[in-house]
Amino acid sequence: MLKILHTADIHLDSPLKSLALRDPELAEAAATATRSAFRRIIDTAIEERVAAILIAGDLFDGQQRSARTGAFLIGELDRLRNHGVRVFYIKGNHDAENPVTGTIDFPDNVHVFDGRGGKVRLTDDVWIHGVSFAQRHAPESLLPRFEPPVPGAINIGLLHTSLAGAKGHDVYAPCTAAELAAHGFDYWALGHVHARQIHVQTPCIVMPGTPQGRDIGEAGPKSATLIEIGGGISIREVPTSILEFMPVDVSVSEGDSDEELRARIREALQAAVQALVSDHGAIRLRLKGKSARRWQMLRDRDVWTETVSDIARETERLWLEQLVMEIESPRAAAEGGTAANELGRMMEDICKEAGFRAAACERVDEILAALPPELRRALATNEASRDSLVDQITRAGQERVLAHMRGGR
């Protein structure tokens, strides 16, 4: 039985974006999560006695520069070398723009495919094919750069691609699963899309997903894919993530007391611990339902945030990533003519004015400029994400003002 471990989209030392300004107790675990996940991949490879690891792109994370990243990586690759494990690596779009990839002297157990493509023999009857990104963008299919399969052998292809497109991911090296299947390889080791997916069973076309989620958009446990070759090809998931993002919903009823709601939150977080696959969990807790005390709760959001954080810490495995209040007032329809509602409508109109919008964007830009670069990137990677941040802050401000006005009712 020949074993090979397939991973991709590791993004070494990438910050976990939603945790950049969060609980200080989580800071160290968050800062090293991608390294810990990669170390777990190496540990699994050694324990399973694999012949090789396939890294299907985005080992690094964009323009992040760190000699420590390179030193850590070499140390882990040397561990594989000491156990006779080979590594086959293609550069993805993030690797192509990362300066570290051009300066590392990889150990001799590592083969990096270039942009022209090629193939390497792993065993007498197993060949690894791969094509790297030569630059940041690959708007055309890379499939024509792959050689035909070696006759009478198992052929495995390494490709970083968005396939026919995926929500939340830019289009890179586009092609279809049908086109890959028609090429004649036995296994396609893909990368780029962060959600795990088996596109085709025969031949195997597998997107392993990222081994460590970075925000609530990449919720759930993450993994790598173990390939077993012997009388055919079989695959199975192996867990890799250290920190798992988890959405948790808690219902709110009209007559709930604070004690009843706290008890319900505790119950929900205990259930989350039982469902946790990774070492730790970062929860986004949503309070949903109707309550006559909606505005008091919005007014006291900071108190509820600390309360939920404390309950999460009691589990010793969970931290609060964010508290979201999706609470409706049963009296909302009857309050249409109140002064507070009139103020709410006025604020809505003001927020739509071009002058207010420009001033808000300017103020947010000033605050971002004062932050360290890594936090700035975590909060706003481009103009669109900056605009989204302005919208979030504006809505939160409106809610807070109205909460203080209505909170005493």
DSSP characters for 103-137? T----TTEEE--TT-EEEEEETTEEEEE---SSS-
Predicted model pTM = 0.79
Q: 225: alpha, beta or left, given left = phi > 0 and alpha = psi -120 to 50?
A: beta
| % of the chain exceeding 90 in pLDDT | 51
**Distance separating alpha carbons of residues 98 and 103, to the nearest angstrom:** 10
Residue 9, classified by CB atoms within 10 Å of its CB into exposed (0-12), middle (13-18) or buried (19+), is: buried
Residue range 169-190: average pLDDT?
88
Alpha-carbon distance 56 to 190, whole Å? 6
Give CA–CA dist 55/240, Å, rounded. 14
Which residues have C-beta within 8 Å of that of residue 163, sequence separation ≥ 6?
174, 175, 176, 177, 190, 193, 199, 207
Confidence of residue 409 (pLDDT cuts 50, 70, 90): very low
- What's the whole-number average pLDDT of the chain? 85
Residues 221-259 have pLDDT tens digits of: 999 999 999 989 999 999 999 999 999 999 998 878 889
Q: How many helices (H) and strands (E) does the chain have?
A: 12, 15
Closest CA to 236 of 200, 289, 198, 274: 198
Task: For 121-131, write each residue's pLDDT tens digit.
Answer: 999 999 999 99
Q: Tens digit of pLDDT for each residue in 280-336?
A: 999 999 999 988 888 788 888 899 999 999 999 999 999 998 899 988 877 654 444
What's the rounded Cα separation, in Å, for the pair 297 and 402?
Answer: 12
The predicted-structure confidence for 367-392, as pLDDT tens digits, reads as follows: 877 776 656 666 776 777 778 888 88
Q: How many CA atoms lie within 13 A of 247 on its CB side?
A: 10
Sorting pLDDT into bands at 50, 70 and 90, what band is 60?
A: confident
Q: What distances in angstroms separate CA 141 from CA 160, 191, 246, one per listed residue?
A: 10, 14, 35
Q: Which of 248, 243, 289, 288 is nearest to 268 (CA)?
A: 248
Backbone angles phi, psi at 160, to 5 degrees: -100, 115
CB 276 within 8 A of CB 239: no
